[in-house]
Amino acid sequence: MENPFSEQYIKTILQSKNRQKISVELSPNNNIEMDILEKIRPCFVAVTWLGNPHLDTRTEDIPAVVLARKLLQHNHPVLLHLAGRNISKERMFEILTYLKSIGVKNILALQGDWIHVLEKDDSKCDFPYTSDLVLFIKTTFGNDFSVGVTGYPSVQPRSQNIHEDLKFLKLKVTNGADFIVTQAEFAYEPVESFACLCKQNDIHIPILPGIFILKSYKSFVDIAKYCAFKLPQDVHNYLERYQDDERVVKEFGLDLAINLAKKYLCNPELFAGVHIFSMNDLQEVAQFMTKIE
């Protein structure tokens, strides 16, 4: 099937008016149901890095790169995550040069989850912060890559407050970031507030709110522990009440994600689309897409 967004930069995709912008994140550590992906045709597919165990592997054999290459062969625009903290400048140049050669045009620049950071001393890192990686990509490769960064409506766990967090986000934008993907939230208001604060702080690049589709009580517990998000009390109470009823929790999670997405998509002044953290469950994403479109 022809993808109207194939071989495009995300900054260009987000400017087009021909369809809703719904993207999907996949991980290279599980099988991908490519037939379902072909049917839902997200506007782009993000690929998580998971690269620390493979830093000494040939670039073309890193699992995230293998998956990116497969997606490109199926005409899916790819957003490849790159965590800079553990990578030297020379190795980063090698990786980006290879990605350019195979047609990857979009990078999500990350510092890397602190739990996976190998070097805690900033002075020993070529890219101690995301803003450093953004600047390197833009100064070294110019417009060869569209660069995204992350945003935290509930504040990045290592920031003191939202004001400090926005200062760091503004630096990423100043250094060349083209768009923002936010952490998943389970209420609309924190994301709306975050987007308004971005505008007030002269951050005007497109924002894609992240959405996580809850499938079970266990998935809620696991993702809450990993992402340290704040769950609305009414959602928390409901999940606690029905934690042993998988069908009820799954229906609730899907409905919650759909309602959030509809609110985001109905506010194009603040949001450029939505980004689904799929956990590689493309059947769940397909149900979501059917009800949205």
Is the Cβ–Cβ distance between 8 and 75 less than 8 Å?
no
Q: What rounded mean pLDDT belongs to the chain?
A: 90
Write out pLDDT tens, residues 63-100: 999 999 999 999 999 999 999 988 999 999 999 999 99
Which pairs with CB-CB distance under 8 Å and at least 24 residues apart come from 4-7?
5/43, 5/44, 5/77, 6/75, 6/76, 6/77, 7/75, 7/77, 7/103, 7/105
Helices (H), the chain: 10-13, 34-40, 63-73, 89-102, 130-141, 162-174, 188-200, 217-227, 233-241, 246-265, 282-292
Q: How confident is the model at residue 116 (pLDDT cuts 50, 70, 90)?
A: low
The encoded tokens of residue 101 equal 């050669």
Distance from C-alpha of 29 to C-alpha of 31, rounded to nearest angstrom: 7
Q: Cβ–Cβ contacts within 10 Å for residue 25, how many?
A: 24
Q: How far apart are the first and last CA of the chain?
A: 18
CATH T-level fold of 10-292: TIM Barrel (3.20.20)
Write out pLDDT tens, residues 166-201: 999 999 999 999 999 999 999 999 999 999 999 999
